[in-house]
Chain A
Amino acid sequence: MESDDSNMYREHILELYKEPSNYGTIKNPTHQKTGNNPLCGDEITVQITVKGNKVEDIKFRARGCAISIASASLITDYAKGKSLNGIRSIGSEKVVDLLHIPISPVRLKCALLPLQTLHDAIGMKTEGKNGTARNK
């Protein structure tokens, strides 16, 4: 099974799950949001510091599965240094691309929660496809 192409649990995903990048908190973030996936009870808080229209720092804390933690790790890395418009233009296909694993529609919801919460944090209206984000 481990060599199976359909396996989502590849080495790079598991490593990100065990040691995610950008895990933690920012003292005085300019933007922050907590999002959750009502299907599974997963929760993520994304904090960012925007300076001169650029994401200077980004951190997250989450209670989630390997897929959502790996996704949060990848997307926060990707977002760092980008302009707000640059972040707004990140689409769900980018998440799938960054994860680089075959992913079922159900687990896609787990993978997209971090991006959606990031979008909510900068006040972007989202399609509300995967769960709801709320203030906390």
Chain B
Amino acid sequence: MRIDNSKAKELRQDFPIFSSRKNLVYLDNAATTQKPEAVIDAISDYYKSSNANIHRGVYKLSQEATEKYEASHKQVENFIGAGNNEVVFTRNATESINLVSYGFDRTFKGKNDIVLTEMEHHSNMVPWQQFAKRNNLRLKYIRVKEDFTLDYDDAEKKITDKTAIVAASHISNALGTVNDVKMICSLAAKSGALSLVDGAQGAAHSEVDVKSIGCDFYAFSGHKMLGPTGTGVLYGKKELLEAMAPFNFGGDMISKVTYEDAEWNSIPMKFEAGTPNISGGIALSEAIGYLKKAGMKSIERWENDLLKYAMENMKNVKKYNPGLGKSAGILSFNLDNVHAHDVASILDMHDVCIRGGHHCAMPLMNKLGVAGTARASFYLYNTYEDIDMLVKGINEAEKVFRR
């Protein structure tokens, strides 16, 4: 499918929120996306006609729910190029990252540090800070350059055979920068370090093939890619998921329990203790179906067209973006002497939703020397008219503060 402005308008009709709020200009897709009717229906259909607990009942209804839930794991595996049983469902990318950090506690011998990047979201920073404390490791950060891209020379220097884990975002939620995670993961592999890619934006805004990236782990959230909240994914190489210890214990994750001890179930069940978000998992599969139909390459291209149009039309703002070809459809900006919250509030008066703040990247904002930025982030249903409204709102903000 080729997405252009008229196609985007057509796609918009699949999203009920745009008919219930006619004037809505939704440009906060990096925070969460809107949901197509098919996804919303999948949730209610499950409860209306397939509701039963999974992996338990011998009756048809339970088997059907189990099959659907397992099929949605397959759908995800297929979407990111993972092998069989290499995908674990979680609540969100944050939980996926925490799962890995707990799973490898006390397993590193002769390692001194963890390498992250300066542009990480708190969710790919705070778990590692805690991991570093628990495991007596030091944190090192790959530098972000003036042009808002990663300093790969610095990455080569910092990732050494003393590095236990390298964790980096695929696409920065604050800057839009698309990182060369393939290169980072290959540096990690050469140094004998584990690699984890935070794909919260990556899986939503680009075509992902985990085998080609060569990462050990890839984490993402369903709600940032048309799926329901409370759905997340952890991809892990099979042998690593097998080696990794679970941190959530209980039903479904065991194969055998005695009064004294227990043995773990196979993957993914080993990491999915308790009754999971069954309806959410099934609806996530529906969301991926929708994205596949649109085509991730087409989405990337359309976001790039929107970004180009926004860059050209947003003249009087300071942009925190590496530029076309290096960025996904995420554009952080500031108006001179106007706080990002005020920009967001004035835009809200025009029903334009953008984010204003630190984007859960406080250390990065400090490095940039700002309290925060305003951020517009695009998705397949956004149009040039949405950006016109954004520009109009920015001009308005400028007028309000210059009068």
Indicate if B158 sits at the interface (CB-CB under 8 A). Answer: no
A40 touching B349 by the CB < 8 A rule? no
- Looking at A7, A8, A65, A107, the one whose CB has the most chain B CB atoms below 10 A away is A65
Query: For this complex, into which size category does the number of interface residues on chain A fall?
Result: 20 to 34
Chain A residues 56-110 with CB under 8 Å of chain B are: 63-67, 104, 107, 110
Q: Is the CB of A65 within 8 A of B341?
A: yes
Indicate whether B55 reaches chain A with its CB closer than 8 angstroms: no
Residues of A within 8 A of B208 (CB): none
Taking a contact as CB atoms closer than 8 A, the residue among A4, A9, A41, A43 that contacts B342 in the complex is A9
B339 partner, pick from A4, A6, A8, A64, beta carbons under 8 A: A64
Q: Which residues of A contact B357 (CB under 8 A)?
A: 39-41
Q: Let me know if A4 and B371 touch, CB within 8 A.
A: no
Assuming the contacts A40-B357, A67-B342, asked whether A2 and B400 have C-beta atoms less than 8 A apart, the reply is yes
CA distance A63 to B340 in the complex (A): 11
Smallest Cβ distance from B353 to chain A, in angstroms?
12
When C-beta atoms are compared, the residue in chain A nearest to B348 turns out to be: A104
Is B358 touching A66 in the complex (CB atoms < 8 A)? no
> Is the Cβ of A107 less than 8 Å from the Cβ of B345?
yes
By the criterion CB–CB under 8 Å, are B362 and A41 in contact? yes
Task: Point out the residues of chain B lying under 8 angstroms from A43, CB to CB.
Answer: 371
Verify A64–B349 contact, CB threshold 8 A.
Answer: no
When distances are taken between beta carbons in the complex, the residues of chain B under 8 Å from A9 are 342, 345-346, 400-401
The proximity string for B residues 353-382 relative to A, scoring 1 for CB distances below 8 Å and 0 otherwise, is 000111000100100000110000000000
CB-CB under 8 A from A39, the residues of chain B are: 357
B157 within 8 A of A: no
Separation of A4 and B346 alpha carbons in the complex (Å): 12
**B22 contacts chain A at the CB level, 8 A cutoff:** no
| From A6, A17, A40, contact of B356 by CB (8 A) | A40
Highest count of chain A CB atoms <10 Å: which of B346, B356, B362, B371: B371
Contacts of A110 in B (CB 8 A): 341
Flag whether B70 is at the interface (Cβ < 8 A). Answer: no
Is B21 an interface residue, CB under 8 A from the partner?
no
Q: Which B residues touch A2, using CB under 8 A?
A: 400
Enumerate chain A residues within 8 angstroms of B338, measured Cβ to Cβ: 66
B180 interface contact, C-beta 8 A: no
Residue pair A14, B341 in contact (C-beta under 8 Å): no
Q: A40-B356, A41-B362 are in contact. Are A14 and B401 (CB under 8 A)?
A: yes
Residue of A nearest to B338 (CB): A66
Q: Is B342 in contact with A63, judged by CB distance below 8 angstroms? A: no
A65 touches B401 (CB 8 A): no
Q: Return the chain B residue nearest A1 by Cβ.
A: B349
A65-B358 CB under 8 A given contacts A41-B371, A41-B372, A43-B371: no
B contact residues around A6 at 8 Å (CB):
349
Residues of A within 8 A of B345 (CB): 8-9, 65, 104, 107
CA distance A14 to B356 in the complex (A): 19
* Chain A residues in 8 Å Cβ range of B339: 42, 64-66
Assess the A1–B396 pair: CB atoms within 8 A: yes
A64 and B371 form a contact (CB under 8 A): yes
The residue on B at minimum CB distance from A41 is B358
Whether A67 contacts B349 in the complex (CB less than 8 A), given A14-B401, A41-B365, comes out as no
Residue of A nearest to B361 (CB): A41
- Please, how many angstroms separate the alpha-carbon atoms of A6 and B345 in the complex? 11
Most buried by B among A39, A40, A104: A40
**Partner-A contacts on B (CB < 8 A):** 338-342, 345-346, 349-350, 356-358, 362, 365, 371-372, 396, 400-401, 403
Give me the 10 closest cross-chain CB pairs, A-B, nearest first: A65-B339, A65-B341, A41-B358, A40-B357, A41-B371, A63-B371, A66-B342, A41-B372, A9-B400, A65-B342
